[in-house]
């Protein structure tokens, strides 16, 4: 059954029959103040009924209203961490916020010849909690079933994109080939990629708190493909003499794929976590080094064609960010490129369920917050106050990072809930 508000269809929702009659639930668009709206119920285009109701502002326990969050992050976010394979059927599952609150607007796109089914708009209590500000976030779960045996030869069933109307809204400053890079999912097709991960589970979860052996392979590979495509756009491709640095390599979640796929290049990893660096040195090809909490490192000047850092700046104070930006500039070759993520609007929206209204207003005005401690590396790096949960706006990032490097551009939501800053040495 379709529900419309002031003439615009919001979503198709399930109707539940009970002893007292039929019922359904559907969120109305967020508002700043109580607003009279006309709600209509339709079935196959036929009007079943309607009424005028008062749409009230939705607030979290800290008094923050949903519209304030929605204004900062109005793109539907998603998470795709899980896959299963039975020898013929590949199943991918996760959650994607319904575009404009309407699950019917979401689809996936494969190469022609891929046989699949996409069941979406499924109940998602976890997304409903975290994305409390988004209309009908409880209808976010999906299951994508790919029939490998039934797909045509020559097609690519291991890559797909999420599609919905208005998907490129607000991305006019992003180069056209990169606008959908954050919506592209790459599925590992080689079972060998699942071999050899740390057996101490804390080495996985200190990188991503929800990681396990299955998800770390999937997300690490998909992230590698996104970074590889970004490097290629800016002229960094595999070949003899090419040097790549994974700054903040952890247990090699992404590094391992560069090592395996860019065989002629020299791949290095660096991290402040000596335990994970030691594991990488023992189990992965490549060069790995433990670096101090603040630079300089012992890595040579102008030595890397490409540097990438996934979820590193997301844990650093303003002081540490500034110091590491100078170090990144020192390490880049004159024509090198750095791809560095930061926790921007999407990450702030994800955490907004915990944020009181005064915090949100202050963050929007200032553009930066590093006050919250992250305990993930407590007891591992010698300073339990160093590792933070840092969120910053794109405006802040460009203004402050430009003091240290050239900010070529910012790609929203390029890697999960994190934005990607594309950097070069200042000329």
Residue ranges in the chain modelled with pLDDT below 70: 21-22, 204-211
Q: What pLDDT does 261 receive? A: 96
Please name the residues in contact with 153: beta carbons below 8 A apart, sequence gap of 6 or more. Answer: 113
Look at residues 36, 12, 72 and name the one whose alpha carbon lies nearest to residue 361: 72
Q: Which residue has the tokens 């844990």?
A: 315
For residues 252 and 207, what is the distance between their CA atoms, to the nearest angstrom? Answer: 10
CA angle 211, 215, 220 (to 5 degrees): 95
HSE value, Cβ hemisphere, 13 Å, CA-based, for 408: 17
What pLDDT, in 10s, does the model give residues 164-198?
A: 999 998 899 999 999 999 999 999 999 889 888 88
What pLDDT, in 10s, does the model give residues 237-262?
A: 999 999 999 999 999 999 999 999 99
CA 83 to chain centre: 17
Q: Would you list the DSSP string of 242-274?
A: -EEEEET-TTTTTHHHHHHH-TTSEEEEEES-H
Q: What pLDDT does 205 receive? A: 65
Q: What pLDDT does 53 receive? A: 92
Q: What pLDDT does 2 receive? A: 84
Q: What pLDDT does 94 receive? A: 96
HSE value, Cβ hemisphere, 13 Å, CA-based, for 381: 23
For residue 59, give the DSSP letter.
Answer: B
How many residues are recorded in the chain? 427
User: Is the CB of residue 53 less than 8 Å from the CB of residue 6?
Assistant: no
Q: What pLDDT does 25 receive? A: 85
């Amino acid at each position: 059954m379709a529900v419309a508000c002031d003439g615009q269809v919001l979503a198709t929702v399930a109707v539940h029959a009970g002893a007292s009659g039929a019922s359904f639930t559907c969120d109305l668009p967020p508002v700043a103040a109580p607003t009279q709206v006309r709600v209509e119920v339709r079935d196959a285009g036929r009007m079943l009924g309607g009424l005028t109701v008062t749409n009230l502002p939705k607030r979290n326990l800290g008094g923050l209203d949903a519209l304030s969050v929605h204004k900062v992050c109005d793109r539907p976010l998603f998470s795709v961490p899980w896959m299963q394979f039975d020898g013929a059927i590949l199943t991918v599952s996760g959650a994607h916020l319904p575009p404009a609150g309407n699950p019917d607007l979401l689809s996936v796109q494969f190469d022609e010849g891929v046989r699949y089914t996409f069941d979406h708009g499924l109940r998602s209590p976890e997304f409903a909690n975290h994305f409390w500000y988004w209309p009908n976030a409880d209808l976010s779960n999906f299951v994508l079933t790919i029939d490998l045996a039934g797909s045509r030869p020559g097609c690519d069933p291991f890559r797909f994109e999420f599609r919905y109307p208005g998907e490129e809204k607000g991305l006019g400053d992003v180069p056209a080939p990169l606008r959908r890079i954050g919506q592209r999912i790459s599925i590992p097709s080689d079972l060998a990629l699942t071999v050899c991960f740390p057996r101490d589970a804390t080495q996985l979860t200190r990188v991503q708190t929800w990681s396990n052996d299955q998800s770390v392979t999937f997300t690490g590979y998909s992230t590698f493909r996104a970074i590889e495509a970004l490097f290629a756009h800016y002229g960094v491709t595999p070949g003899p003499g090419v040097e790549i640095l994974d700054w903040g390599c952890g247990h090699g979640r992404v590094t391992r794929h560069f090592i395996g796929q860019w065989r002629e290049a020299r791949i290095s990893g660096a991290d402040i976590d000596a335990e994970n660096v030691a594991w990488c040195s023992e189990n992965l090809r490549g060069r790995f080094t433990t670096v101090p909490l603040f630079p300089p490192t012992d890595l040579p000047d102008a030595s890397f064609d490409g540097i990438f850092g996934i979820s590193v700046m997301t844990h650093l104070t303003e002081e540490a960010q500034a110091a590491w930006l100078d170090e990144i500039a020192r390490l880049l070759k004159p024509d090198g490129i750095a791809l560095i993520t930061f926790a921007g609007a999407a990450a702030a929206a994800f955490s907004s369920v915990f944020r009181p209204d005064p915090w949100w207003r202050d963050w929007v005005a200032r553009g930066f917050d590093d006050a919250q401690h992250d305990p993930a590396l407590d007891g591992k790096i010698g300073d339990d106050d160093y590792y933070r949960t840092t969120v910053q706006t794109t405006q802040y990032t460009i203004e402050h990072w430009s003091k240290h490097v050239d900010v070529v551009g910012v790609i929203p939501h390029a890697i999960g809930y994190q934005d990607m800053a594309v950097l070069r040495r200042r000329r």
